[in-house]
Chains A and B, each alone.
Chain A
């Protein structure tokens, strides 16, 4: 359980023990991920949804390989057999105002609040 582990590092919490950040968008440490795997969350999808690891603007381009490797290590499974989460659109962040303008420049221009 995550709580038992935390007790081993009084007053510290995950970050104090091993501040290796593996998801830079959401500031998730390696230890947080290891704690979750130890408490039974052994799919990338669950870890993503609990920690937001991989849900930031880069959509996990860095962290998903690292998390998959940790799961593989802990479960003894081959990395190829652990299903990675899906990349979801948009491939790169887009501004909402920009999406409006890009879609229908004729209709949208001159209306509303004058953005773009």
Chain B
């Protein structure tokens, strides 16, 4: 495959975010677009994620972005003409509160969500058990539930976007690594890859946890770090768990995929910034301990595989979206553990910004400048 000599836009990163951006740019007829990925598609965080999609958030912006993404997931197979299933299952998210602080936050969150038309509600422990009969509701104080939340298959979503992008003429360059970005007179001029140089006036940084390094290539510093998160999958069993079950204070989530396997993850508060994706026995044990307390029958399931991936973290757990001081250089990174669910709407918004259209959701508050201005939008409800 020959490397382009010239493109109207280069999207760096073949994860779900880059795939969505490339597709949306092509759909807007932006011209010649190259999607550059140093390994295979979805080889980064995307292919390692829990792939949950929830609209129950503590900030207005996250609620709005997630709500719009859910609408996009619902129509995705048709819109993208994908001949497989993206396995979008809307079994809801059940969030459990174990502390007073969590309960107070949940009351506020549900009020906010309902005001934005998100069908979330506050449940008693007994009501939560009616939705998840295997739940140990003993020490649960309350729960919130939104039936239209769910999860999808991250590989299929990425391949669906890339397939549609290819049909619209996007050149997909896998196993091609970006090594440098040349800026001339404050403007992006070219992207230097290990397999050639692409002249371009527009570069989108969707390099996931490596976005900090890619931004630096263009001389842009972003407040940003990568953090390992571990996850595991069990053997498949018959469908017994409809919603994703999640607890912020226990730092866990667990879902049953349409395939029948259970996927679950747990955050480690002592995890240091870094790029390691090693799996640990400690995670398996702690995960097992927490999940068998919350959903005791899960203890009978066998783990067939565990792995790890990287969160791309920002100080306020919101993504950094939009332009930078370098003209033509755009950021779509810092998703802080929820970039899969925000990918559909992110692709649309970034393409609108690049095409000089008014973004369909006002995301001026998510620009890079917010850190310098001290205008962080802190999200209280993350794992």
Contact = CB atoms under 8 A, between A and B. Distances in A.
B41 interface: yes
A50 B292 contact: no
Interface string A47-82: 001101001110100000000000000000000000
B244 to A, nearest CB: 17
B279 interface: yes
Contacts of B2: none
Contacts of A52: 259
A43 B43 CA distance: 11
Nearest to B259: A52
A46 B281 CA distance: 27
B292 A97 contact: yes
A48 B279 CA distance: 20
B128 to A, nearest CB: 18
Contact of B43 (A45, A50, A55, A112): A45
B292 A100 contact: yes
A99 B40 contact: no
Interface string B293-308: 1001011111111110
B235 A49 contact: no
A93 B303 contact: yes
Contacts, number: 93
Interface in B105-151: 136
B235 A57 contact: yes
A95 B235 CA distance: 10
Interface string A28-50: 00000000000000010110011
- Size band of the A side of the interface? 20 to 34
Contacts of B159: 50
Given A113-B296, A115-B299, A97 B40 contact: no
Contacts of B306: 88-90
B299 A97 contact: yes
B288 A97 contact: yes
Nearest to B264: A96
A57 B234 CA distance: 9
Given A49-B42, A50-B156, A57-B304, A99 B279 contact: no
Interface string A93-107: 111110110111000
A2 interface: yes
Nearest to A1: B83
Contact of A100 (B234, B235, B289): B289
Contact of B307 (A88, A93, A96): A88
A113 B293 CA distance: 8
Interface in B298-339: 298-307
B299 A95 contact: yes
Given A3-B83, A49-B47, A115 B292 contact: yes
Contacts of B292: 96-97, 100, 112-113, 115
A85 to B, nearest CB: 10
B307 A112 contact: no
Given A89-B279, A95-B302, A100 B41 contact: no
Interface string B19-54: 000000000000000000000111100010000000
Given A95-B301, A99-B303, 8 more contacts: A57-B304, A93-B303, A96-B287, A99-B284, A100-B292, A104-B289, A115-B299, A115-B300
28 contacts: A49-B42, A50-B84, A50-B159, A56-B304, A57-B302, A59-B305, A88-B279, A89-B279, A93-B235, A93-B304, A94-B303, A95-B299, A95-B300, A95-B302, A96-B288, A96-B292, A96-B299, A96-B303, A99-B285, A99-B303, A100-B289, A100-B299, A103-B285, A112-B293, A113-B292, A115-B296, A115-B299, A115-B300
